[in-house]
Amino acid sequence: MGVAERELQRRNYLQNQYDIPEKSIEKQEKKSKANYKLRYIMKLFCIVLLALLPLYRFAVITEAQDRINKLQTEAKKLEAQNEQLKVEVANLKSIKRIEEIARGKLSMKEPESDQILYLNTD
């Protein structure tokens, strides 16, 4: 009851001291309550925003890490494929393979000594 009594005393003081009508005091109280509610809602909004900001940052970081992991996996696959292609190129370039193709598919043979012609480049 102490709070209600103080409020009643304040009203009486304001009315007697400044000769303020009761309706004006009620309007001020309504504005004061509205301002209090608005400040309360704004504070609550700020708290919620501050609580959600780290969650958003965590989500962005997690998404970036996922992209990094995918790119690293893809890079490893491409490196392995590159190594396979290098081995394949080396096999295709081998002199033994080229000679087999020349003799088998193209029916080529070694030239005989009388078929060789040497040129002097001097």
List pLDDT tens digits, range 50-73: 999 999 999 999 999 999 999 999
**Residue at 111 is within a domain:** no
**Residue at 117 is within a domain:** no
**Which parts of the chain fold into alpha helices (H)?**
2-18, 22-93, 95-104
CA-CA distances (angstroms) from residue 19 to 4, 8, 13, 96?
A: 21, 15, 9, 117
Provide the number of structural domains found in the chain.
1
What is the residue range of 91's domain?
Answer: 10-106
Overall pTM surpassing 0.85 (yes/no): no
Q: Which of 43, 42, 10 is nearest to 26 (CA)?
A: 10
User: 95-116: per-residue pLDDT in tens?
Assistant: 999 988 888 888 888 888 888 8
* Backbone φ, ψ for residue 107 (5° rounding): 55, 40
